[in-house]
Each structure stands twice: as C-alpha cells, then as structure tokens.
Structure 1
Amino acid sequence: MNTIDRRLFLSQLSLAGAVAATAGFGFTTARKADEFIETEINTGKIRGVRSDGVNVFKGVPYGGKISGDRRFRRPAPLQPWTGVRDATQFGAPAIQAPRRNEPAPSEDCLFLNVWTPANDNKKRPVMFYSHGGGFVGGSGASQAQDGSNLARNFDVVVVQTNHRLGLLGFLYLDEIAGADYAGSGNMGMLDIADGLKWVNQNIAQFGGDPNNVMIFGESGGGAKTSCLYTMPAAAPYFNKASIESGPGVRMTTKETAAETTAMLLKELNIAPKDWKKLLDIPAADLLAMQAKLPFVPPFIEKNNSREAKQRNAGGFGPVVDGVVLPQHPFDPVAPEISKDKPLLVGWNEDEYTFFAWERKDTESFKMDFEGLKKKLEPRYGENTDKLIEAYRKANPNASAPDVFVAISSISMMGLGSVTIAERKVKQGGAPVYLYNFGYKSEKKIPGTDYAMGTPHAMDISFKFNNEIPPRDGSAPKESFFGGNNPDRFVASHHFAELWTTFAKTGKPAAKDVPEWPAYNLKDRPTMRIDTKCEVINNRFAQELAMWRSLGKV
C-alpha cells in the first residue's frame, strides 16, 4: 500500500465491525440472568431476561420476510404471533462472513435488541445505535457495544438493529425493475428507518420515551447516521444525532449505482431484461460476487472530479436517489429536514493505527521524512512537500510516523467531520458540537514500538461505558484496544456521561468536564475527550488551513 486515502479507509471499514464481533474489548459481562421478563409489543408478547439490574430483549423482529420474492424490496408485513416469543438470543445478522458468538447470517435479518433499566412507565431517553462495518458487515450484537452499562449506569434505553447490508441492501434496481423495487438502492437504510418506527410504536413498553430518541453510530454507523439525518422516512422518529468516526458527507449517485448494477449483471451473464434471475441466486453466491467486484467508497469525497471522469462503479452503499435519500447528506449544505435537531460529530485522534494493526503495517513506523514524502506523493502529488511542512511546523517534535498517522487520520475522518460541523453551523438551526477522542492506549502496534494511541473503533467500548472495573470485584482484564491503564475507566465514564446527557437534553455535559460550547465559525471550539477533558478553540488551525487550501474542507 503506497497511499492512505478515503478509498483505502473505506475498504477496511467492515473490519471495525469484525473486530467488535471477535475481540474481547475488556468489558464486564453480566452475571447469569436471575429472572425472565415479559412485555407486550404491537405484534405479541416477548420474554427477555433481567440481569444485574438491566432488562435485555434480544432478537426481537421488527420487520417481516426480505428473502425470496421480497429480496431487494420492502419487507413483508410482520405477522403477529400467539403465545410468548423468546427474546433471550440474538437474531441472525445480515448476509456476511460468519460472526463469532452469533447465529449464522441470514437474508431474513430484521431483528433488534433492547437494553433497559426497567419495563415501567418512566420516560427515559432512547439511544438508537447503528453498528459499524461500513455498509457490508457488522451487527447489533457486537460485543463492544453491549448496552447494559449505559442502561444501568445512566438510566437510558439502548436499541440496536440488524439490517440488510452490501449487495442485498443497496443494489440499485430502480431503473430496470419497476415500481415494486423503488428505493432498492437504499433498502438497508429503510430497514433502519423501520427500526426507528418500531421504537416509536413500542419503546414506551420498555420504559423509553418515543419523543426523545437519539440516533448515533460509529464508522459505517456514523455514515448511516448521516443518511438517517437526511431521510424523510426517518425524520419523524428521532430528535438528535451523533456521527462518530464516519462522516457521510456524500453518498453514491444514481449514475454510479446504475453502472454498478450493470457490472454485476454482466459478471453474472444476466441481461438487464432478465434481472429477475437475481432472485434465484443463493445469497452466498451473491456475497461471493460482491467480494469480487471492484471496491468503491460509499462516501464520495468533496469536489470529486474523478466521479465525472470515472464513475468508480463496483461498491454498495446508500444511493442519492432523490426520494429515499433526497440529497447528499451534507453536500452542498446540511439537510433542511433536520435543521432543528442537535448534532454531535467528531473523530479519534489516531484513527490510522487501527488499520496499521489490521494490515500488519510495520514499515510506516520505521520511515524517515524522505520515506514519508515517497509514501504520500502518490496521493498528494505536488502538494506533498507543503502538506508535510505544515504538519512539521504545527508539530515541531513529531517524527515522520507521527506526521503520517496525523495526516492519515484527519484525512480519513477529521476533514469530513469538520465539514459537517461547519455546514451545520451555517444552516443557523440547532447546535452542533465537535469533538476529538484522545485517550491514549499504551498498547503497541504488533511488530513495532509505536503505541496505538486512539485508534479507529476504540471509542466504541468507551462510549458504551464498557471500560469499567468488573462488578464482582475481580482484577480488571486488559482491554482489547484500551490497554491496562485504569485511567481508561475515567475516560470511559466521561464519554458515556457526555453522550447520555446529550441524549437526555440535547446538550452534552458531564461532571468534572468543562462546559462544552456549541461549534461556531469564530472560536471553533472542540471538546477533547480523555481522562481530563478540555475545550480547545480552533484546534488543528494550521493543519486545517493547509487542507482548506487544497479544497478538502
């Protein structure tokens, strides 16, 4: 790999979900359930479990059949059931590679999970999370995002969904398949909107307030949240949002999506008029074909001249079809439909170290500044020298690997986050709050002496307050990314309290944390979240000035 850019980042997005599914991530698991809990929703009775002061309902269906003749279409109506349906096991995730400690993936995957302190009449804020994994992987059962501690420690209700992904969730057929397949390029997003509608209709039975719902998500979940913030189908069902390490400024155009569909049909030797043959192909074969197609980022960069010259067809993500997704989420402006909904947006300081860990990249941490120039030139061309110079001037003690991580991390996640914050401010509606997560893990990137710092995906277990000492008093286990330092428990509490307070009030706040001012274009305040949190005005001013001169913000 000679360059780090948005395409590289997005080609790895699904790994964040995979990591969360397979790794321990160092959070406390609940003790054996002490009792069953029953409640009634609009389709029948369900039975979950109460464990350590939290009621947990897993694998609750929120939509009907989406396989067979419903493939690429809106779900069949969910049929009521008689008796009491078990809700103690996770539901199937969307079609993808098998996931550790979860059911086998299935086309019929419209299930959600709920964590609540009590099924009473208390109107708690609802935190509705969209999992990471790009638009191709992940699930609402990923271990690091277990909602028990948020519910228990901060008196909120947490909801997470499984929904269609990849080719089965985002294949654009609108132009060849007729009215029954309208919106086909956004089925995965419409599934999530259906989950929000389910919350509106049922969450009062779980002690939640249907009129106080926060949507949030990390990585691919941040991009999904960006889309939900723009979608008429979701708008009635949430009140505030948080986009974390996944700024979805732009999505795929209809033209690009149509070319992707044409490419797929050609690879399968199916004429466009015979597109219905797609309904008979086993889902596993479609998944294999999805992996063979060229990758294209589902987030399209600002001022992407390449799109005009080469459509980069081949990938699957939300489509700006003018109906389900009326516009690019934050381009050219923030969406009017969510003008009055407060927003959090931000990124982790060392996003790139996750991808170095995943790819076993050790060479990037041995290079000198001449090597750095060679590594960045394929991406930045004649601007490479002045970009490196700007970073060295702003960070005079930084090594070449430090500069590489800083440039790579902000180009992946920071520039889009700043763009979103600025466009939200210019809209003149509800406030937007910009953050950086900065707690530093001492764990080293394998094969190097370079600490991971604050890698992509490390924020998941922190914001879910899953970095806490064991409740049984035993010695804490090492966190997968967060390391061994007990300071991480303080940083996790700060993060979780800021997010849950935002869910409750629309303004993030926490004990022992400075007041967090809304972002503005004069002071540009950014909250740095760590063991000791601080507000930093006009953070990365020199670096962002350089990026602006390159037209990247």
Structure 2
Amino acid sequence: MTVRTTEQGAVRGSTSADGVASFLGIPYAAPPFGPRRFLAPCPPEPWQGVRDATAYGPTAPHAPYAPPFDVLIPENEIPGEDCLNLNIWTPAPEPGAGLPVMVWLHGGAFSNGSGSASGYDGSAFARGGVVCVTLNYRLGSDGFLHLPGVPDNRGLLDQVAALRWIRANIASFGGDPDRVTVFGESAGAMGIGVLLSTGLARGLFHRAILQSGACHHFLRPASAALIASRLAAKLGIEPTVEAFAGVPLTDLLPAQAQLRAEVSARPDPALWGEAVLNMMPFEPVTAGLSLPGPDCGVDLLIGSNREENRLFLVPTGLLDRISETALHTAATAYGLDPAEALPVYRAARPAATPGELLSAVATDWFYRVPALRLAESVPGSHVYEFAWRSPQFEGHLGACHALELPFVFHRLDDPSYTPLTGPHPPQPLADAMHEAWLSFAKTGDPGWPAYDTTTRTTMVFAEAPTCEDDPRGRERLLWDGVR
C-alpha cells in the first residue's frame, strides 16, 4: 500500500505488479446535494487519518443509455452522493518526480458516462511515464440545465474545480502541475472547447487533446430555456431551482432520458431550439460561438473519426431507412445547398445510399469541420483523423464515433470495447496512437507536422498510419462560411 498526502488529508492507494500506483475515488469537491444542489462546486471537507483510495467512488447520477448504445458504449454506475471524485494512476508516486500529467474528461452527451469505466483505466498511460487522472462531473439537469438564479455550466465548473485540485495536489503523486494536458472525447472534448474559448480554466492546463468535439457545441440561453421549460412540463413543475430540487432522482433521471428521445422523435425548433441539430438537450450554455485564438497559450491536438455518425445510424437501423428527401432536408438544415453539396459527396462515394451520404454530411457538420475551425484559430495545432473501420455490423459500422477510445487508452483487450471493435482490432495501430498521445503530453509534438491552411497536414490513423494533406478537401470547402 502507498500513502500520499493531499490538502484534505492522507490517502492510501494500491500498487500493481508492474509498479503502477493507483489512488481511486478521491473527492475534489463536496457532494453536490442538499443545500449545494445546482450551485458551483464547493471544496471537499478534510478528513482525519488515512482515507482508503483503493476502490472507485460514486458516479454522477445518470440514466442508463438506451439500447443499443447500452452495449456499445462502456460506462458504469456506482451509487452515492460523493460523486465529484477523481482517480490517479502514477508510475512514480514519490513527491517531486515532475512527470507530465494527463487529465481525462469523459464523453456521454453531457448526460452519461463516468471517469471510472474500465475502458478509461489509466495504467497504460502511467506505464508510459505520465500521471493519468480521470474524473466525474455533474451530468444532465444537475450539470447543465439552464435555471434562473444559479450558475450555468455546473458540470464544467466541476471540471475546473478538479483541475484546481490537481494543480494543488498532483505533485504529491509525482506529477508536475505546470505540465498538464487535458484530453477528452465527445462531450469531454466539447467541454474543453468551452474552457478554451471562455478562459474558465486559464492557467490550469497547458496542452489539450480534443477527440470528436470542439467549440461549436453549445446552446444559447433562449434554446436552453426552452429545454428547461419542456423538462419542467414533463415533470409537472415550474422551471425553477426549488421545483427541480424537489423532484426525486428516481423521477428526474427517467424524465431526462425521455426528453432526449423526444428531441430525436420530434426535431421541431419551436420545441427545442438549436438542440434539434445535434440532438443534445443538455449542453454548455453560452451566448454564441467563440474560438480561442492564437493567444490562448495552449498547445492543441484535435481530430475526429472519419465516419462518426455511423454509430447513431447503423446499430439503430436508421441508415437504411433514410430517403433521398430526408437527405436533402437534413443537408438544408445544416446550412448546405443540396444541389451544390450532395454531388460533391456522391463523387467520392458513387455507390452510397442516402443514409450513407447523410452520415458523411452530418459527420462533417458535427465533428470534422468544428475540429478544423479550432485548428485554424490556433496556429501550431496538430490534426488527426481516425479512419480504421470496425468489422462490426457486417462492416457497416466503419470508423464510427468512440471507436478510437480503446486505441488511445491502449486497452484493446478490455471486453467492454469488443462490441465496437470486434474481436481482433490491430494492436500496432493502438501502439502508434497511444504513443502519439504520450509524446504530445510530454513534448507538445505528437510526431507529425502542425496543421496550417496551406498544406492542412493531417495524420490519418488507419491500418497503416500516414500523413495526408487536406483529406477530402472539396467537401471541406463546402462548409466555408457555413460552419
């Protein structure tokens, strides 16, 4: 057993056979319930003696994923109110070792996920010479519902509180508080985008890796107010803090899940505002799009998966039910002229169905183009694309959303990822991708040239990773002035 000291008290972790020490379930903020519900996070209470840190702590309350995503996307649920906690893996738990630190922000559409899913075990990063931290933050209405009289974006404020805790305490676990890289996927990356554009966490991290998310994913206050009103009406209450605080979680969490389903079933802007385009009713609330710019002081590695939207269309069977009319309607909603844009997408996919074309268009609108806009705004950024295609669902799943996760975490043997990857994902690709993430955290250089608007050099992580200049440039140009 290994004991280390934090500002709140001592913690006892465990050490694996390969020398990685882990400290699990350490509170970085007080339980966000009772009088602290819907408020900014408060500091954790100190404790006496040595706190056991050998098991994961409670997860933030959330409803489970609906089928088929409950099988495809790994997450876990541990009950308890002390859910604002974090986990640390370190190869050198001695204070003052000065190792780089990587802090993981999980995805889950701001409504699901946790930092303690087995797929996010940080042991491989620790074996690679960094201190890896994963954490929980508030989700759904507790984290992101827009309500009068309380701060917005409480889930992001939790992330900032965790980063402050890490800055104050990580040296005790062998980490260097001045060499912190945040990395996240989907909602985790989108949260990083907001932290970058608003400066909420300025000085708390020095590099950032954004996987399948950037700065374009938010709700303006008017749309966020619509969401709050709709959820309140579903629960039969007024859209106030007091009313929501009086709803038991056993009623609130199912209502949140039903609300998400209703947005997909009835994508009417009069009901949901901007949420009809990305189908996420719980998102950061900001006044509008803001990109961080060259003076943000953070090195960036940014990317997306080549066929992100197939995760949402193939397992559900929607891919084959999309008509040509629906394709044109969706392209128009995304801001494109179908007569101009769809022939360009078809030219690269001559045998594609309307559903496959819609997947390509939606992938660009939701993931690829926002990533490129962020890279364009911060000179020296590095860009990647994950292009290895999963054999699952008879090969139709492709290079879908979340598929890169087991490669990044070097956990191809984790059974929770098998429904996405299939039984034999390529280990050399995981070796290359994981090493690139480690290299970026240590040096700011993942191993390929930075992105610029002349060459647009992109590392494509396929069976044989290789650099390409401006992949699918004709399609990218369609979005100039649109997204």
Asked whether the two chains share a fold, i.e. TM above 0.5, the reply is: yes
Question: Displacement of 1:146 after TM fit?
Answer: 1.3
Confirm whether residue 480 of structure 1 aligns to residue 410 of structure 2.
no
Within 2, Cα distance between the matches of 1:165 and 1:335? 28
What are the superposed Cα offsets for residues 31-81 of structure 1, whole Å, 9 maximum, x if unpaired?
xxxxx2211111111111111321111111111131011100123431111
**For residue 365 of structure 2, what is the aligned residue in structure 1?**
411
What are the superposed Cα offsets for residues 466-521 of structure 1, whole Å, 9 maximum, x if unpaired?
136x9xxxxx99943233446x1111111111111111111212xxxxxx111111
What are the superposed Cα offsets for residues 237-291 of structure 1, whole Å, 9 maximum, x if unpaired?
100111111223242222332343344444444456x742433322222223323
What are the superposed Cα offsets for residues 313-332 of structure 1, whole Å, 9 maximum, x if unpaired?
99222112xxxxxx64xx35
Question: Displacement of 1:109 after TM fit?
Answer: 1.1
Residues 106 and 357 of structure 1: CA distance in aligned 2, closer, same or farther (over 3 Å)? farther
**For residue 83 of structure 1, what is the aligned residue in structure 2?**
49
**For residue 382 of structure 2, what is the aligned residue in structure 1?**
433
How do 1:22-61 residues align onto structure 2 when only pairs under 5 Å count?
A: 36-51=1-16, 52-61=18-27
Normalised to the residue count of structure 2, the TM-score between the two structures is 0.87
**For residue 128 of structure 1, what is the aligned residue in structure 2?**
103
Within 2, Cα distance between the matches of 1:101 and 1:291? 16
Within 1, Cα distance between the matches of 2:26 and 2:233? 38
Question: Displacement of 1:96 after TM fit?
Answer: 1.0
Question: Displacement of 1:403 after TM fit?
Answer: 4.1
What are the superposed Cα offsets for residues 176-196 of structure 1, whole Å, 9 maximum, x if unpaired?
x3xxx3x2x211100011110
What SS class does the counterpart of residue 128 from structure 1 fall into? strand
Within 1, Cα distance between the matches of 2:416 and 2:329? 42
Within 2, Cα distance between the matches of 1:437 and 1:101? 22
Confirm whether residue 164 of structure 1 aligns to residue 138 of structure 2.
yes
Which of 285, 303, 306 is matched with 1:319 structurally?
Answer: 285
Within 2, Cα distance between the matches of 1:397 and 1:534? 26
CA contact (8 A) 1:343 1:433 kept: yes
**For residue 449 of structure 2, what is the aligned residue in structure 1?**
517
**For residue 205 of structure 2, what is the aligned residue in structure 1?**
238
Which of 316, 340, 343 is matched with 1:359 structurally?
Answer: 316
Within 2, Cα distance between the matches of 1:362 and 1:403? 10
How do 1:66-145 residues align onto structure 2 when only pairs under 5 Å count?
A: 66-97=32-63, 102-120=76-94, 121-145=96-120
How do 1:386-535 residues align onto structure 2 when only pairs under 5 Å count?
A: 386-395=340-349, 403-425=357-379, 431-441=380-390, 443-445=391-393, 449-467=394-412, 479-485=418-424, 488-509=426-447, 516-535=448-467
Within 2, Cα distance between the matches of 1:502 and 1:316? 31
**For residue 70 of structure 2, what is the aligned residue in structure 1?**
none
**For residue 292 of structure 2, what is the aligned residue in structure 1?**
334
- Between the two proteins, what is the percent identity of the paired residues? 33
Question: Displacement of 1:375 after TM fit?
Answer: 4.0
* Structure 1 portions without partners, runs of 5+: 1-35, 298-305, 321-326, 365-370, 426-430, 471-475, 510-515
What SS class does the counterpart of residue 468 from structure 2 fall into? strand
Residues 275 and 132 of structure 1: CA distance in aligned 2, closer, same or farther (over 3 Å)? closer
What are the superposed Cα offsets for residues 117-151 of structure 1, whole Å, 9 maximum, x if unpaired?
12023211111010010110100011222111121
CA contact (8 A) 1:477 1:484 kept: no
Residues 311 and 450 of structure 1: CA distance in aligned 2, closer, same or farther (over 3 Å)? closer
User: Which 10-residue stretch deviates more, 89-98 or 133-142?
Assistant: 89-98
**For residue 69 of structure 2, what is the aligned residue in structure 1?**
none
RMSD of equivalent CA atoms: 3.1
Normalised to the residue count of structure 1, the TM-score between the two structures is 0.76
* Structure 2 portions without partners, runs of 5+: 66-73, 264-268
What SS class does the counterpart of residue 229 from structure 1 fall into? helix
Within 2, Cα distance between the matches of 1:506 and 1:277? 47
Q: What letter corresponds to residue 465 of structure 1 in structure 2?
A: H
Confirm whether residue 379 of structure 1 aligns to residue 336 of structure 2.
no
CA contact (8 A) 2:85 2:135 kept: yes
How do 1:283-302 residues align onto structure 2 when only pairs under 5 Å count?
A: 283-293=249-259
**For residue 23 of structure 1, what is the aligned residue in structure 2?**
none
**For residue 482 of structure 2, what is the aligned residue in structure 1?**
552
Q: What letter corresponds to residue 208 of structure 2 in structure 1?
A: A
